[in-house]
Amino acid sequence: MSEKNDHVSLALGTDIIRAECKKLPETPGVYRMIDGKGQVLYVGKAKALKKRVYSYTLPNKLTFRLQRMVSQTKSMEFIHTHTEAEALLLESNLIKRYAPPFNILLRDDKSFPYILITKDHDIPRITKHRGAKKLKGEYFGPFASVMAVNRTITTLQKAFLIRNCTDSYFENRSRPCLQYHIKRCTAPCVDYVDKNEYGQQVKLAEAFLAGKSREIIQTFSEKMQVASDDLNFETAARYRDRIRALSSIQSHQDINIKTMRDADVFGFVQKDGKTCIQVFFFRIGQNYGNKAYFPNHDKEEEPAKVMAAFLAQFYQSKPVPKDIVVSEFPVESELLMEAFSDQAKHKVYIRKPERGEGKRIVEFALRNAQEALARRLIEQDNTSENLRSLADILDMDEPPSRIEVYDNSHSSGQDMVGGMIVAGPEGFMKGAYRKFNIREADKSDDYGMMREVMQRRFSRLKKESPEKDNNWPDLLLIDGGKGQLSSVIEVLDELDITQDLTIAAVAKGPDRNAGREVIFMVDKDPIELKKNDPALHYIQRLRDEAHRFAIGTHRAKRQKSAHTSSLDSIPGIGPKRKKVLLHHFGSAKSVERAGLKDLENVEGISKEIARQIYDYFHET
């Protein structure tokens, strides 16, 4: 676009905003700037909408970035709120929903996992939980990763012998499972321990997770000493092992705090226009892990503004602790504290410690942030070089900004799934990954599976994004050879969307030898790269990630199928009746084949229920 056209667009955008400004009151609210396609460009909040929006009608006082935003604005939408704190929370919600290109964006905004001890069963179980806290029970966390949760649960099982099996699995046990034999459960499923004793085990686990670790270890030490004095060495050894298990949790803590029992600590660093924010979770004075974030923002943004936007979005769907400890103080900190306090229903403080233990912890978070950002910049440099090499090899006009890689997985035609992973200049975009349960393709028809995946993916994409926005790939990589490539081309030709789309199939060499991959493309000779070519290594990484994702999805589906019984679908058949039927007949298949009289003879199964079961398997 010429300079003259830019000036015209800016003037038009300014006029549109000025017209909207005349209708606005001096009250708090949230505003959205929208382009000609209906896409949200920017979401902002204001203490006084009229005054804030008016500032966009003075182009000479705007940065070049904001001038571009104004020039693209074709309409605006407003939501009025009672307070500025309410506007702040709403702004964060809308930014998360629309991901506007001119806002500071928090990516990889997954919920954190918790440890849950259930309370909806006579015999509670310990399990990991992610998402809304709808289940009845005690929640402990958040933890920074699923790995940290799994490690902690395993340790707690060793120390307190609590079950981790599902309720349906528990109800159908007739003998102890492996967890009992490896001393991680006391087998309450077969009454090897009574409810009162098991309840004490659960209370000890809850007390440990609530911060009473020293008291519990001291109690176990005393019991171990008593058993040893009584020459009961087997019991003493069991307490010794339980003490070791609890001590192992504390040994994984890199750093702990005594002065702050409930706090999140943020280390903020910037380099070359990129930001890393490292967050450490401290609960009950213990370190529950850490995670690095790399928010997306313009290079001109001030650190204090980036920090404020990050915190607002970070806590939009997460519990807010009492203390938020930062290395970079955010703008509008008083407003943030007010909003977080309203959200959390308790007083929230944002502070930057200047001395003592608090400063030591912030410095610890800063060092981790610096190391994470350094690794990130190296990875991005390598990725940029790999994308340029890939574009040269595949004869693309410019490096791809979005690569989609497809792979299928099944076991002899069973539990067929397709997997799609996405990569770009920022690396793997895991939030964009997709899985496809294959429904129509014949068993073991790999080409048919790929056709179905392509049909479903691009039919939907064509419907949802007809203008070919950032959700459209520049490059498709298919795991397979000429046959898979032909299947993909066939579907895309039918949908009339092969233009401006590079498609390549990556096949392993003779004897499926990694390092001798061959790339097939339409109307081109096969391409075979040298073993030490960095572009080949990058392609292998993409293909391996797609394979990992497809295999993982397939295994999850297969495992779900393995734990599903045909009895689960019968209305009125709960865990207890299912257990009675399986004990009587030995298997679900035998129940399916049973006659009506045989079903009526099962203790606890009435004639009405027996008829219901029989009719379910014999509809004719």
Tell whether 84 is covered by a domain: yes
466 and 602 share one domain: no
Domain boundary among 251, 281, 307: 251
Task: Specify whether the CB–CB gap between 600 and 610 falls below 8 A.
Answer: yes
Count other Cβ atoms within 10 Å, centred on residue 583: 12
557 and 411 share one domain: yes
Domain boundary among 251, 280, 308: 251
Cα 357 from chain centre: 32
Number of domains the chain is built from: 5
153 and 197 share one domain: yes
Domain boundary among 561, 582, 597: 561
Among candidates 88, 143, 173, 279, which has minimal Cα distance to 582?
173
Structure tokens at 166: 């599902």
pLDDT in tens, 216-230: 888 888 888 888 888
How are strands ordered across the β-sheet holding 137-140?
126-129, 114-118, 137-140
Q: pLDDT value at position 565?
A: 64
Tell whether 392 is covered by a domain: no
Helix (H, G, I), strand (E, B) or coil at 506: strand
Which residues are paired to 502 by β-bridges?
Answer: 475
Tell whether 390 is covered by a domain: no
Among candidates 286, 140, 269, which has minimal Cα distance to 213?
286
Which residues are paired to 77 by β-bridges?
Answer: 32
Tell whether 126 is covered by a domain: yes
Helix 146-160 / helix 233-251 crossing angle, nearest 10 deg: 160
Place of tokens 């503004």: 305
Tell whether 202 is covered by a domain: yes
Task: Specify whether the CB–CB gap between 566 and 545 falls below 8 A.
Answer: no
431 and 549 share one domain: yes
Q: pLDDT value at position 145?
A: 82
Separation of alpha carbons 313 and 334, rounded Å? 16
- How far apart, in Å, are the Cα atoms of 429 and each of 112, 408, 426, 551, 555? 18, 19, 8, 18, 22
415 and 548 share one domain: yes
The phi, psi pair for 261, rounded to 5°, reads -85, -25
244 and 326 share one domain: no
228 and 279 share one domain: no
DSSP track, 118-167: E-SSSS--EEEE-S---SSEEEE---S-HHHHHHHHHHHHHHH----S-H
CATH number at residue 89: 3.40.1440.10
Tell whether 103 is covered by a domain: no
Q: pLDDT value at position 305?
A: 94
Give the helix ranges, DSSP H, for 291-355: 303-314, 333-344
521 and 571 share one domain: no
Angle at 372 between CA 44 and CA 259, to 5 degrees: 80
How are strands ordered across the β-sheet holding 274-283?
286-293, 274-283, 262-271, 323-326, 349-351
Structure tokens at 437: 């349960």
CATH number at residue 596: 1.10.150.20
Which residues of the chain, if any, have pLDDT below 70?
1-6, 108-109, 248-260, 410-415, 442-444, 498-499, 509-515, 554, 557-566, 568-569, 619-620
Helix (H, G, I), strand (E, B) or coil at 392: helix
Separation of alpha carbons 562 and 343, rounded Å? 42
Tell whether 573 is covered by a domain: yes
407 and 554 share one domain: yes
Q: pLDDT value at position 54?
A: 93
- DSSP code of residue 111: P
Q: pLDDT value at position 411?
A: 61
Count other Cβ atoms within 10 Å, centred on residue 179: 18
Q: pLDDT value at position 510?
A: 56
Separation of alpha carbons 475 and 498, rounded Å? 11
422 and 552 share one domain: yes
Q: pLDDT value at position 249?
A: 62
Burial 259-290 (b: 16+ CB within 10 A, else e): ebeebbbbbbbbeeebbbbbbbbbbebbbbbb
420 and 520 share one domain: yes
* Rounded-to-5 percentages of helix, strand, coil across the chain: 50, 20, 35
Collect all residues with Cβ–Cβ distance below 8 Å to 446 and sequence separation of at least 6: 408, 480, 483, 484
Give residue 191's domain range: 114-251
572 and 479 share one domain: no
CATH number at residue 522: 3.30.420.340
- DSSP code of residue 268: E
Tell whether 158 is covered by a domain: yes
